[in-house]
Amino acid sequence: MNLKINKFSIKLNQLQNGKEIIHWTVNKNMTNLFNSHAWKYSKCIENKGFSFNKEEILNILSKQDIDEAFLNISKWQNYKPTPLLLLNKLSKQLNLDKIYYKDESKRFDLKSFKALGGAYAVEKVAKKKKDIIVSSATAGNHGRSVAWGAKKLGLKCKIFISEYVSEERGKVMENLGAEVIKVKGGYENSLIECIKQSSKNNWEIIQDVAWNDYLLIPKLTMAGYSVMMKEITDQINKEEITHIILQAGVGGMAAAMVAGIARYLNNIPTIIVVEPDSAACVMESIKNGKIKKINILKESLMGGLSTNEVSLVPWQILKKSINYCISLPDDDIAKTMKLLACASFSQNKIIAGENSTPGIISLIAICNDEKMKKKINIKSDSKVLLIGCEGDTDEKMYQKLLKQ
């Protein structure tokens, strides 16, 4: 017998050892989506300075940069497009037409889209200058890409990590041949130390963050990331994406995807940037119409997104091209990872790390809020694109969160 009680679907089964056994059905997961105590966003703001301009965007990250990145990266050994999955069970629950999920857990053996950026920048720099030593500061995934790119070319590599980057993430980079240097404090301190030591020793900094006189290499990493949008364009086969939700740390990935939209798509989807509420530096900058540095009081579980300032090149692209910024607490991360892992959202079991979850969380949170849903114009014919930017890049953390 199936009962509907308090929005939970339960199944009463036969007596076993004299006791009535209650089986929670799979529906429990799905009806939970509409439990008002969960799936909440913290803040959502509209970008008053929105004015999407393809030409302006492609003046910052050019068509040539984007095309050259695809031409080079698609020739790398073992290159193949990562899957574009359909979260068909979730779209049914939310009454949306389609939810696409770009599954970057399958990106080479590095399990994140970051493989496309740092390694590509290393390759481009090494073509101009021989016998270099490369260096970088990282929350994990970017450094892994730099270390991998250096290894492919037989270059020495120095990676700086903050005290908050896990042992596991450090080990992966050491296994790729990098020397990993731990720095006290957060990401910013690791970057300052990287710049200091690299200037002293003449190492080539391969950073995904731009500053006033350091623009070229961050642009190359973004050009690498834009390969995702090229693949998606081929995979959607002329379907029109109506909304895209992009997670942001320093904004490189989000801006690269926006540049990819300008380069490859005919229509312009509604663009939403999502960040942890403890590190919503893009949102703060959009609110103020200029780059605003924030104080991170507590590091988010979404370590790749826990940054205090949007990077310069991404900002030039994002400031006029995103429609909304949304911020989230960490509360629903582990639950989302579990639901992805047990195929509750799609036909496929999906391995998704912490940084892959905010797109799904914010989409459900928006759909739970009728006013917001209407404002963002999410409805039954919407086709939403989410970026599953990483798999279990920190295997220990992944297992721990799945057990929660």
Ligand X SMILES: Cc1ncc(COP(=O)(O)O)c(C=O)c1O
Q: 296 vs 69, 137, 303, 305, 327, CA distance in Å?
A: 34, 18, 12, 11, 14
Cα 225 to the chain's mean position, in Å? 11
Determine the Cα–Cα distance for residues 219 and 256; give it in Å rounded to an integer. Answer: 9
**Using rule CB under 6 A, residue 251 touches ligand X:** yes
Q: What's the distance, CA 35 to chain centroid?
A: 26
In the chain the first and final C-alpha atoms are separated, in Å, by 30
CA 393, 397, 399, 402: dihedral to nearest 10 degrees? Answer: -110
Cβ distance to ligand X smaller for residue 250 or 384: 250
Site string for ligand X, 193-232 (x = CB under 6 A): ---------------x------------------------
Please report how close the Cβ of residue 140 comes to ligand X at its closest, in angstroms: 6
Of the pair 242, 247, the CB lying nearest ligand X is at 247
Taking the complex as a whole, how short is the minimal distance between the CB of residue 93 and ligand X, in angstroms?
Answer: 25
Site stretch for ligand X (CB under 6 A), options 45-53, 66-74, 186-194, 242-250: 242-250
Q: Does 142 engage in binding with ligand X (CB under 6 A)?
A: yes
By the rule CB under 6 A, 244 interacts with ligand X: no
CB 149 within 8 A of CB 77: no
Distance between CA atoms of residues 70 and 324, nearest Å:
29
- Which of 85, 217, 253, 337 is the binder for ligand X (CB under 6 A)? 253
The residue from 304, 358, 359, 391 that contacts ligand X (CB under 6 A) is 304
**Binding residues for ligand X, how many (CB under 6 A)?**
19
Report whether 305 contacts 330 (CB < 8 A).
no
Binding flags for ligand X, 310-349, as an x/- string (CB under 6 A): ----------------------------------------
82 near ligand X, judged by CB under 6 A: no
Q: Is 247 in the site for ligand X (CB under 6 A)?
A: yes
Residue 66 zone, left/alpha/beta (φ > 0; ψ -120 to 50; rest): alpha
Residues lying near ligand X in the complex (CB under 6 A) are found at 112, 114, 139, 141-142, 208, 247-254, 304-305, 355, 389-390
